[in-house]
Amino acid sequence: MSQAATAFDPQSPEINVIDLARALACLERKILSTPPDPRLLYSSHERTKTAANLEYARTLLLRLEHTSSRLKIQSRRQEAQSTLLSQRALLKRITDRLHELDQEDRDWPSDASPPEDDLLLSDDDEPTATGPAPPASMTSNPHTDTQSTLRNRFRPPSPIQADTITPLTPTSPSQNNTNTTTILESASTTQADLTSALTAMATQLKTNSLLFAQTLEADKAAMAQASEALDKNAEGMSVAGKRMGLLRRMNEGKGWWGRMMLYVWIGGLWVLATGLVFVGPKFRF
């Protein structure tokens, strides 16, 4: 039990979402289409494989529901649960339709003619039933009696049963034509779906290429405008630097000697003002 738990490696939720979407799309196209896949109508093996695919899709759905219940963000959890709810409804429809096809195959009458291969076999068997009949009546060989007895186990020589077998031969071409038409219609529908999907992908790729080219052109224009703005800012900075140098030279006057003379004048005026305020009133005239 521990080895099985260790060997089990669950896939990531993103891969499970992609696998579930692909499986449901394939099953919906195969079962819910009108008409459904002809192989599902006459082949129990094909229905068994489809049932296995349904079980796999149901397992993925349960795994994703368990994963979505542990999401912490409420908006993402609600969105995931709504998507899984719609997928569960689609899975139920597919399952019900598969059960109906299985029941239709079980309700097929035992004496009715099969669609394709069985009719060909019955046509091949009819000459063996009618051909050796005259020699059996003309000779009394015990080997001939044995052959007639063995033939009677599978095909009794009564005229009633011969009448019931005879109408099968005219219906075989129409049945074959119907099945061939159904297969051709299914193939043409699949081809049309693939063609439309490829056309849509090509259109989307072309649109994305045009949008990318337009984005590149817009980026080029924005880069050109940004470079022009940077050049203008550089020119403005150089002009401002020149103006600041001119102002600095105007403030300094004649340089270092002019600054010293300015300090001397300020000191002399300060001494004169102090003398007038404190020393001048002491002189009496």
* Listed range (16-20, 190-194, 247-251) with the worst mean pLDDT: 247-251
The string of pLDDT tens digits covering residues 81-94 is 888 899 899 989 88
pLDDT category of residue 267 using cuts at 50, 70 and 90:
very high
Q: Which two tokens stand for residue 9?
A: 């490696």
Question: Closest Cα partner for 31 from 83, 90, 105?
Answer: 90
The string of pLDDT tens digits covering residues 233-245 is 898 888 888 888 7
Question: Closest Cα partner for 94 from 45, 69, 61?
Answer: 61
Question: Closest Cα partner for 86 from 37, 20, 36?
Answer: 20
Rounded to the nearest integer, the mean pLDDT of the chain is 72
Please state, as a whole number, how many other Cβ atoms lie within 10 Å of the Cβ of residue 57: 23
CA 224 to CA 185: how far, in whole Å?
58
| pTM score | 0.35
More confident site: 27 or 167:
27
The structure tokens 């119907």 sit at 178
The structure tokens 């099985």 sit at 4
CA 151 to CA 49: how far, in whole Å?
37
Task: Look at residue 48 in the predicted model and tell me its pLDDT.
Answer: 87
Task: Look at residue 46 in the predicted model and tell me its pLDDT.
Answer: 83
More confident site: 277 or 104:
277
In this structure, what DSSP letter does residue 113 have? P
pLDDT category of residue 275 using cuts at 50, 70 and 90:
confident
Domain ranges for the chain = 9-106, 253-285
The pLDDT of 216-244, averaged and rounded, is 88
The structure tokens 């196209």 sit at 29
pLDDT of 119 higher than 60: no
pLDDT of 207 higher than 80: yes
The string of pLDDT tens digits covering residues 159-204 is 434 343 444 444 455 666 777 888 888 888 888 888 888 898 998 8
* Listed range (101-110, 194-203, 204-213) with the worst mean pLDDT: 101-110
Q: Which two tokens stand for residue 65?
A: 């529901």
More confident site: 139 or 59:
59
CA 32 to CA 101: how far, in whole Å?
11
Helix residue ranges per DSSP H, 8-116: 13-31, 38-42, 44-68, 74-106
